[in-house]
Amino acid sequence: MKRLSGFALFILFLTATLGAANYLPPPQRMVLGNGLTVLLHSDNELPLVSFRLLVPGAGTVAEKTDGLADLTMQLLLKGTVSRTASQVAEELDRLGVTLRCGAQEEYAEMSGSSLAENFARLLALASDCLLVPAFSPDEFAKERQRRIDAIRQIQDEPSQAVRQYFRKVYFGAHPLGSLKSGTEPTLQKMTVADVRAFYQRGLRPEKAVLAVCGRIAAKDLKRLLASTLGRWPRPAEPAAEAVLPPFPAVTGRTCVLIDKPDASQAYFILGVPGLPFGDAASPQAEVMNTLFGGRFTSWLNSELRIKRGLTYGARSALQSWRPGGIFTVSSYTKNDQIGEMLAITFELLARGRSAGFSDLEVESARNYILGQFPPSLESLNSKTRAYSDLFFYGLGFDYYDGLMARVAKAPLADVNRIAAALLPEKNYALVVVGKAEDIRKQLEPFGPFQERRISAGDF
């Protein structure tokens, strides 16, 4: 009979203990008159309160112009009908609180945290920003120009530019091909009227969820919400659905070389279809990803960085949305070594598909995930994110208990089966950013490459 190591026994004990206690205790739930769902987890350990407001249908997939959703959300903090942008910033500093706004693909979000004694004032300020934003033409012009300048800086940094180009190449005309930052051409055409129209169309309370965690009782939260987000008007007309369509099929090799003539290093991202959020195969996929490129001692980083010294970092990652996901492999090296790096990467992918991982490797990855996961839910901010995400994706609040239990028992055969399914062979998207003159010939074995030159402000 195989004996378990002391560390493995500790992990099993930890899993059983935490599973019994729940990673996320079930929150108290209430629905306000305007349809806003509120999730509360009272936690008196620290004198702090955090919140996260998630608004489905107001993310980048709902925008008709790249950058509109995130710009709209950022402008919520740039003044209200009763406060200038400077006054909003000064009040945040005076209270010692944080307040952030932004747009992700499937939703818009607002989040903040404060000392418990200042939470009422933080919520009042957040409500003012959300319900009566000024959308000043001057602030709009300044924020738009700031974003254009940031895009130009991104294009001057290949490590950032490759992510934007990959998103456009992989998703194309699919809504996930929309760039959160926007592009210079789309931003130049954007107007304050566009922002106001998106705000009116997208930010509605009836499908939104507010998660609150920290030192606050339900009765006190209800009282505060009555005079703040409870006054968020619910429009009479039905909300338009912003549903992601099926992901584009990846057939054959879609390879693009982005020429940056002054680049001394080449960066690549290789991508294939992954799994939807909450997919039944997620536990096995997490174990597989951890082994292939998800930790420092992974196959990918060990071979490219530790053994070969080709790079300071190589990784793989899983990213998921409602209808699907992607699995990506990425790294960088000197221009004259990119061919060698890609050859090694594809050799590792082939080994993962055919030979798979060993029993000891899978046990190690399971233990690694089980040990790393609990701290990811320690902070109040992380709890508000977890509660609101699970509500949005329609998963139970015991989801992480089940996920970690399945990780702990993920069979070797299932891990290798998902490796054979996800690790790319012939059908993939590959984007490389570097000096084309130096790397063009090296890329020939990996597919016919379309070649583009970085054009200012666009992707």
pLDDT tens digits along 25-43: 999 999 999 999 999 999 9
Q: What is the CATH number of domain 253-453?
A: 3.30.830.10
Domain map (residue ranges) of the chain: 32-231, 253-453
pLDDT at 46: 95
- Per-residue confidence band for 457, with pLDDT thresholds at 50, 70 and 90: low
Q: Is 332 helix (H, G, I), strand (E, B) or coil?
A: strand
Task: Decide if pLDDT at 453 tops 60.
Answer: yes
Q: How far apart are CA 175 and CA 242, in angstroms?
A: 10
Instruction: Measure CA 232 to chain center.
Output: 27
pLDDT at 221: 98
- Per-residue confidence band for 10, with pLDDT thresholds at 50, 70 and 90: very low
Rounded to an integer, the average pLDDT of 111-117 is 98
Q: Nearest-CA neighbor of 206 among 70, 56, 385?
A: 56
Q: Are β-strands 107-115 and 37-42 bridged in parallel, bridged antiparallel, or unpaired? A: unpaired
Q: Considering only 10-19, 357-366, 399-408, which range has the smallest mean pLDDT?
A: 10-19
Residues in a beta bridge with 411: none
Q: How far apart are CA 455 and CA 66, in angstroms?
A: 17
Task: Decide if pLDDT at 1 tops 50.
Answer: no
Task: Decide if pLDDT at 366 tops 60.
Answer: yes
pLDDT at 286: 97
Q: How far apart are CA 12 and CA 366, in angstroms?
A: 10
Rounded to an integer, the average pLDDT of 425-442 is 95
- Per-residue confidence band for 257, with pLDDT thresholds at 50, 70 and 90: very high
- Per-residue confidence band for 13, with pLDDT thresholds at 50, 70 and 90: very low
Q: What count of Cα atoms within 13 Å lies in the side-chain half-sphere of residue 451?
A: 13
- Per-residue confidence band for 362, with pLDDT thresholds at 50, 70 and 90: very high
Rounded to an integer, the average pLDDT of 12-17 is 46
Task: Decide if pLDDT at 455 tops 80.
Answer: no
Rounded to an integer, the average pLDDT of 281-310 is 97
pLDDT digits (tens, 9 = 90+) for 134-179: 999 999 999 999 999 999 999 889 999 999 999 999 999 899 999 9
The H-or-E segment that residue 320 falls in is: strand 314-320
Task: Decide if pLDDT at 17 tops 70.
Answer: no
Mean pLDDT (the chain) is 92
Contact yes or no for 68/195 (Cβ under 8 A)? yes
Give the burial class of 173: count Cβ atoms within 10 A of its Cβ; 0-12 exposed, 13-18 middle, 19 or more buried: exposed
pLDDT higher at 19 or 233: 233
Output the pTM of the full model. Answer: 0.90
Rounded to an integer, the average pLDDT of 65-71 is 94
> Which residues, including other chains, have CB under 8 Å from residue 32's CB and lie 6 or more apart?
38, 205, 225, 229, 230
pLDDT at 15: 46
Q: What count of Cα atoms within 13 Å lies in the side-chain half-sphere of residue 188?
A: 8
Task: Decide if pLDDT at 18 tops 50.
Answer: no
- Per-residue confidence band for 245, with pLDDT thresholds at 50, 70 and 90: confident
pLDDT digits (tens, 9 = 90+) for 302-321: 999 999 999 999 999 999 99
Rounded to an integer, the average pLDDT of 56-75 is 91
Rounded to an integer, the average pLDDT of 233-247 is 83
pLDDT at 14: 47
pLDDT at 390: 97
Rounded to an integer, the average pLDDT of 265-287 is 96
pLDDT at 456: 62
Domains 32-231 and 253-453 share a fold: yes
Q: What is the CATH number of domain 32-231?
A: 3.30.830.10
